[in-house]
Structure 1
Amino acid sequence: MSTRRRAPWFLTSPMALVSSTVIVVLVLLAVFAPILWGAAAASADPNAILQGPSAAHPLGTDPLGRDLLLRTLVATRTSLGMALLATLLGAAAGLLLGALPAVLGPRAQRAFGAVINTWLAFPVLLLAMLTVILLGAGSTTAVIALALTMTPSFARLAQTLSSRVGGSEYLAAARMLGVSRGRQFSRYVLPNIAEPVIVNVTISVGGGLLALSSLSFLGVGIQPPDYDWGRMLSEGFAQVYSSPTAIVGPGVMVVVAGIAFGMLGESFASHMRNRGRGRALSAKKLGPAPVATAPAFERPAAGEPLLEVEGLAVSFPGPDGWIRPVQDVSFSIGAGEIVGVVGESGSGKSVTMMSVAQLAPAGAAVTARRLRFAGEDLTGRSARETGKALGTKVGVVFQDSLTALNPALRVGAQLAEVPRVHERASRPEAHRRAVRALADVSIPDAERRAKQFPHEFSGGMRQRALIAMSQIGSPSLIIADEPTTALDVTVQQRVLALLRREVEKTGAAAIVVSHDIAVLAELCQRILVMYAGRIVEDVDVALLAQPERLAHPYTRALAASLPDLDTDRERPLATIPGEPPDLSRPITGCAFAARCAFATDRCREEAPPLRPREDGGAVACWHPQHGGGLRETVETTKAVA
């Protein structure tokens, strides 16, 4: 069964077809008209001064007897060239001013934003005239003046578009991998804002053409003996009553060219709104070549924790003071260990682990009394120094696989960033490594899939691609932030099995963040229970099967809310009454006291520290529970609430 190839979109859109045809004609005139008629257009003829339209001169002649039609056609190169140059200069400057701060940080964004706002406050005409006064009239001045007036509008557009990219997970991952700022700008920011910018450039060429013609008409643009359509309009205006055809040629060309570029820009915009992104590529086999493996990171000595965190706190500025979603968090992870982090939404799980990976959200103030990784003390170092020290030693699997992958890059190209940036691998070698990584996580036809975009992957495949990306640099620690969110049970099971297999194969440690304690029970060896920005219990996962041995009332309540096959369907599911505290306000005492059946005055006045338990683990509770059934604890909690 044969398939009919779809015609290009601009051939099916009348507006795009007409506008592109006109622009092609204008470009051909700009290229060939000066070659064919340049000399004739510049030759004065004393015997043909100020003649009206005739067969020899369809638009008549000027005061020097030069043919107006030929001059109009020859002026196409100057008029279009100046408009294109000014627009491109304005767009380039605007992109640097508006989009570059996305990779430079919050301070640069605020500073550049202030510059853009100030620039936009100046009237366009005043700015252009000021430029002319400072630099003098001429074609170069006109181009500079127009570029300066276009720059702030392009900057504001780029600033708006790049703000979304600047907060994306895929750009955060690029920073963590040590991708240079120049590469972040060229491969992560620009491709994701290119389409609206291209549309705006196309539309702006028509406006720039009109603006440059206006400057030349006023006598501050191009100067004799050079000429453009605006200069011709200025010269023909003096004889408009005696020979009105003198302004017909350049006037029509300005209008037609401006409308054509505007129509083409609108056609681009309409097409981009309606079309689906990306396309499937045919497989292209590479020749056999040895697949290099990334150098293994030197593991810490036996018995020494891979990661030690003490007194970690994260704060955000709020309208009524600081909001502290993470407060005094301390824990350690051993090499090869899989540790889960569980808690209700807003308990600080993701913020804590992303801060450890140096991926805290913009504006966050992160402090720690001690941060030690693989035997290296990182306490007191700047975020940039810490990120550089971690490098590829920490891999991250983000929660939303669609936003964690760069939509403008093929999946294979994104995986290849690690060997290309950190190991200076060649492009073919990095591609082979990326294909191998995809194959290792059981993605079928990895060679073809590596050439596809993220939206062409299913949710489960994208999640596996993220695991492959986190593994390609042979990290010592993997942080998985709710890796099974929005996946069905079957795919969830595959992703968990894959994550466990990769950890066992490489010997790396893993931290898995989830609000689902059942998921962690299948995967992890121990669980850190977080509540209101603090770790309230560090418990062995085996104790989940013996809830009477759980010490903290919150952990018991979480376990009680987990249904199983023996759950009585006639009774309502167990829940934790009440709501977590408002972290924008100071919390006195134990944060769980208002929801706890065993709270006393001491609990409400003094926060319990995280203390070791006699039977292993640790708990932050003044009244840890070691006896009594699970149902009794939950029912008592309900009664008190």
Structure 2
Amino acid sequence: MRIRTPAAIAGAVLVTLMVILAVIGPVIWGDTADKIDAAAILKGASDAHPLGTDNLGRDVLARVLVAGRFSLLLALAATSIGAVVGTVLGALPSVLPPRGARFVTGAVNALVAFPGLLLAMFTAVIAGLGAKGAVLGIGVAIAPSFARLTQTLSATVAGADYVSAARMLGVSRTRILTRHVLPNIAEPLILNITQALGGALLGLAGMSFLGLGVQPPAYDWGRLLFDGFGRIYVTPEVAIGPAIAVALAGIGFNLLGDALAKAASRSAVHGRRVVPVAPAAPGEADPEAVLEVRDLTVTFPGGVTPVRGVSLTVLPGQIVGLVGESGSGKSLTASAIGGLVPYPGVVTSGRLALGGRDIAEMSDKEIGTALAMVFQDPMTSLNPALRVGGQLAEVAVVHQGATRAEASSRAVDRLGHVHLPKPAQVARQHPHELSGGMRQRAVIAMGLMGTPRLVIADEPTTALDVTVQRQILKLLREVTDETNAAALFISHDIAVVGELCDQVVVMYAGRVVEELPVEKLATGAAHPYTRALIDSLPDMDTDRSLPLASIPGRQPAPSDVGTGCAFADRCGLATPRCSAELPPLESYGKAHQVACWEV
């Protein structure tokens, strides 16, 4: 995670200074803070006492510096209580029976709706005035937000196959919670603690200022603010000192927490979790390749590996088709290339380069300019509340630094470039006013707002009728021919791939089983799975009196793939070796590779 923004740096500096102050403050200024001087009682600022003195003549500045340790320790204790209680409450619904889950969820919702400060004051009054009651009160006030966050995160994990398998195996709810649920949501919870520390520190200061927190002779920043507030109009510096300390500490923790959360979000959601597993040898790189992928693997907790060692190369002006049944890993491969694998997925690769550069080292702006993605459902790519032209213009403004007028003009030009009639009018319309084919063209136009070197089209014609489908395929070919951009076209329809692409990559159960030129697809396919896909396509010569050809069985789930060939159970040529050993992807002629023991 990178936290190099000015706000992040400022937050890190402030937090570091506060921690240093907590360590050295009592050691250096402890005696000065406790020294009573009857001759300097209730004095204002002076050379000897820059922030004045209190009702016993003690130096306020020294007391502010010393109070940093106690203030931070109290905040840490309150945050720990809130985090532990909230995490347990939020995670319980994912492992409790339905009735218990509903009860806990209702309780969390009620607590979230209750004002946090009132909840803290109520708890502190019951627990007793003083530091102990204030810490408990702030901890209870923090807990509902942790519970809501944990509940949201754990709900995404609770439906995973490995959790279902644990339930079926009779694993206890406690073990499911501690072993399967919490480890997979730990990162955002830990990041939230940093933000909560700032809130806890401010809350504790507020409690002490109201007289419900730390009581004399102990003192924290809030207590010092309480003591000095009565003199704010006479000697304001005695109250301003602790107020500044509280503000700086709170701002520091919140800035740092926000920065860490944003950095983690980019890592988890936008794919910066790309880990090179082995550096490629100097001679392996293809200098002409727009996209070069070597040994790409995507893994999720619990040993689920939906993409396993995928390698492919796309050259300028070339369209490579990625084909296979649903669940074969095609779309997840595209997501890994584009940096869109959702948390907690982890992407590893020997090489993952775009235009000769490692994608992991490229900024979001560089990736957004060089890579365009077209998804199956354009409504998920277009905001229904915004006009089409404005959404396209935003790409040029964000990634190219264009003015709003320049970006709008380019948006109209790009809409016309994809053969949309009356592009200026389309730019003023909302997505729901366009047909499915027009929306898909608009999404392609959005990708062309920059100068993409690679276009990834993930089943862009699946939801369209055959006439519009052909128009979209023709448009993709025109785009690559005109701009010399490379394209990765993903589809489960091998007939469409055969019509559009130059090279075909066939995937099965997360692995490439064959790669071949498109002209060999109909008659030269070698892998039994590829041939079965082709045979399942009817043509004009198909005997209609016979049932359509199909592939028996089903593709294994990512967690069920064995050590051998994943297609062995469905293959008529399979031998015992196929189930025991994984066949490597080997050359089978010019630009042709096959992974099969029987070829």
Q: Which TM bucket (shorter chain)? A: 0.5 to 0.7
Alignment of 1:313 with 2:303, yes or no, is no
Shift of 1:508: 0.2
Structure 2 partner of 1:603: 578
Superposed CA offset, 1:485-532 (max 9, x none) = 111110101111111111111110001000001111111011100000
2:480 to 477, 483, 503: 503
Shift of 1:123: 8.7
Shift of 1:302: 9.5
2:553 to 563, 578, 583: 578
Shift of 1:122: 7.4
Verify the 8 A CA contact 2:387 2:429 in the aligned structure 1: yes
- Distance in 1, matches of 2:588 and 2:553, equals 28
- Distance in 2, matches of 1:545 and 1:483, equals 23
1:124 to 106, 114, 123: 114
Structure 2 partner of 1:371: 352
Q: What's the secondary structure of 1:329's corresponding residue?
A: strand
- Distance in 2, matches of 1:539 and 1:614, equals 9
Q: What's the secondary structure of 1:566's corresponding residue?
A: coil
1:338 to 319, 330, 333: 319
Verify the 8 A CA contact 2:375 2:460 in the aligned structure 1: yes
Superposed CA offset, 1:416-456 (max 9, x none) = 11210122211111111111111111111111111111111
Alignment of 1:565 with 2:540, yes or no, is yes
Change over 3 Å in CA distance of 1:448–1:130 after alignment to 2 = same
Structure 2 partner of 1:534: 511
Structure 1 partner of 2:335: 354
Q: What's the secondary structure of 2:342's corresponding residue?
A: coil
Q: What's the secondary structure of 1:416's corresponding residue?
A: helix
Shift of 1:119: 9.3
Q: What's the secondary structure of 2:303's corresponding residue?
A: strand
Query: Any unmatched runs of 5+ in structure 2?
Result: 1-86, 92-104, 125-139, 157-284
Greater Rg over alpha carbons, structure: 1
TM-score (norm 2): 0.55
Verify the 8 A CA contact 1:358 1:386 in the aligned structure 2: no
Structure 2 partner of 1:612: 587
Shift of 1:571: 1.1
- Distance in 1, matches of 2:347 and 2:428, equals 38
- Distance in 2, matches of 1:437 and 1:123, equals 47
Structure 2 partner of 1:99: none
Shift of 1:322: 2.2
- Corresponding letter in the other structure for 2:439: R
Structure 2 partner of 1:437: 414
- Distance in 2, matches of 1:125 and 1:356, equals 44
Superposed CA offset, 1:208-252 (max 9, x none) = xxxxxxxxxxxxxxxxxxxxxxxxxxxxxxxxxxxxxxxxxxxxx
- Distance in 2, matches of 1:337 and 1:377, equals 20
Verify the 8 A CA contact 2:116 2:142 in the aligned structure 1: no
- Give the share of equivalent positions with the same residue, in percent: 52
- Corresponding letter in the other structure for 1:521: G
Verify the 8 A CA contact 1:124 1:149 in the aligned structure 2: no
Change over 3 Å in CA distance of 1:601–1:418 after alignment to 2 = same
Alignment of 1:523 with 2:532, yes or no, is no
Structure 2 partner of 1:482: 459
2:371 to 394, 399, 404: 394
Matches within 5 A, 1:245-260: none
Shift of 1:359: 1.3
1:587 to 555, 562, 568: 562
Structure 2 partner of 1:25: none
Shift of 1:131: 5.2
TM-score (norm 1): 0.51
- Distance in 2, matches of 1:590 and 1:129, equals 60
Query: Any unmatched runs of 5+ in structure 1?
Result: 1-109, 135-147, 165-300, 625-641
1:469 to 417, 422, 446: 446
- Distance in 2, matches of 1:311 and 1:150, equals 44
Change over 3 Å in CA distance of 1:121–1:132 after alignment to 2 = closer
- Corresponding letter in the other structure for 1:544: L
- Distance in 2, matches of 1:156 and 1:448, equals 44
- Corresponding letter in the other structure for 1:450: A
Superposed CA offset, 1:126-151 (max 9, x none) = 842755999xxxxxxxxxxxxx9999
Q: What's the secondary structure of 2:559's corresponding residue?
A: coil
* Matched positions, count: 358
Regions of 4+ moved over 3 Å: 116-127, 129-134, 148-153, 385-389
Change over 3 Å in CA distance of 1:440–1:119 after alignment to 2 = same
CA RMSD of aligned residues (A): 3.6
Change over 3 Å in CA distance of 1:588–1:151 after alignment to 2 = closer
Alignment of 1:622 with 2:577, yes or no, is no
